[in-house]
Amino acid sequence: MTDVTPAPTDTPTDSQNGAPTEGQPTGPGFRIVAQYAKDLSFENPRAPDSLRIEGKPAIDLGVEMNAQGRPDGLFEVELRLTVKATTDTMTVFAVELVYGGLFALSGVAEQDIEPMLLIECPRYLFPFAREIIAGATSDGGFYPPFMLDPIDFAGIYVARQQQIARGPIDSGQA
Cα–Cα dist 164/120, whole Å: 20
Question: Where are the domains positioned within the chain?
Answer: 29-166
**Which residues face 75 on adjacent strands?**
69, 103
- pLDDT tens per residue across span 50-102: 787 887 889 999 999 999 999 998 999 999 999 999 988 888 999 999 999 99
Cα dihedral across residues 43, 100, 164, 159: positive or negative = negative
- pLDDT tens per residue across span 140-159: 888 888 999 999 999 999 98
Comparing CA positions, the residue from 116, 125, 30 lying closest to residue 79 is 125
What pTM, to 2 d.p., does this model score? 0.76
Q: What is the CATH number of domain 29-166?
A: 3.10.420.10
